[in-house]
Homo-oligomer: A and B are copies of this chain.
Amino acid sequence: MTAQRVAVIGLGSMGSGMAQSLLRAGFAVTGCDVDPATVARFVAADGEGAATPAEAAKDAMVVVSVVVTAAQTETILFGAHGVAESLAKDAVFVSSATMAPEAARALAGSSQAFVKARGALEAMAATIYELGEAPGQGAAFKMINQLLAGVHIAVASEAMAFAARQGLDLKRVYEVITRSAGNSWCFENRMSHVLENDYTPRSAIEIFVKDLGIVEDMARAARFPVPMASTALQLYLMTAAAGMGRDDDSSVARLYAQIAGIDLTGSL
């Protein structure tokens, strides 16, 4: 019996992790990325490589797109050498980009697609939520999550830098807060980067410039005020303006540190 083939298009930090999970689960995986060196690394790690989305999709039953924006997703599908040129009629396309529900609706597939993708989804995810048949529901839930996460990282950065300004021991602050009512998943995850002084992008500032931008667009269209998301977006924009757009999103803490002339490494 031949392993079912899955194509993963976009081998960034998320895409490469998902591709590795699929390999571990026994799928045959074809990887594709705009950067040939990234594809070569995936091939060296037991994957197969493809030069274009059309080539990657050729024999795949499931094509997983792990790019950043709705526009990139459209290009992968319908651009030159796109997935649409070669995708089998009974195959399924899984979009992982965070996008406005409206954009997701414009690309919508059938609800049977969920059934076909299930095996691959189970290989990549700890928990799978089916959020209803109406296209765009998943995107809407994701935007609520991004609103919260974007604000949580911004306030975690503000709180850590303010603690440093007050002369507190930041390791102790981390220890106390992560066991207190002020904790968030993002505080715990991102402030460890700050304590290690490591701003290698696991997820970049530009991602929240995009995602909170989508939140603002959606909210403005719905005539709904989002002052918390809006303030956080301004902080991501300031951090990008200060030259840290491609760095880890915990760099908001470095922005505060730069502005106030404080040290976040604990060597006060």
Within the complex, which residue of B131, B144, B156, B181 is in contact with A182, where a contact is CB–CB below 8 Å?
Answer: B144
Q: Could you tell me the distance between the alpha carbons of A25 and B111 in the complex, rounded to whole angstroms?
A: 57
Interfacial chain B residues near A140, Cβ < 8 Å = 163, 166-168
Interfacial chain B residues near A234, Cβ < 8 Å = 227
Interfacial chain B residues near A154, Cβ < 8 Å = 228
- A235 in the interface (beta carbon within 8 A): yes
Contact residue range for chain A? 35 or more
Q: Per-residue CB proximity of A166-185 to B under 8 Å, as 1/0?
A: 11100011001101111111
Rounded to whole Å, the gap between the CB of A260 and the closest CB of chain B is 6
Contact A141 B176, beta carbon cutoff 8 Å: yes
Q: Per-residue CB proximity of A224-236 to B under 8 Å, as 1/0?
A: 1111111110110
- A96 in the interface (beta carbon within 8 A): no
Q: Could you tell me the distance between the alpha carbons of A228 and B252 in the complex, rounded to whole angstroms?
A: 12
Q: Could you tell me the distance between the alpha carbons of A129 and B169 in the complex, rounded to whole angstroms?
A: 13
Interfacial chain B residues near A148, Cβ < 8 Å = 155-156, 159, 177, 182-184, 187
A168-B144, A181-B145 as given contacts; A158 in contact with B226, CB under 8 Å = yes
Q: Per-residue CB proximity of A210-238 to B under 8 Å, as 1/0?
A: 00000100110011111111111011000
Interfacial chain B residues near A172, Cβ < 8 Å = 131, 141
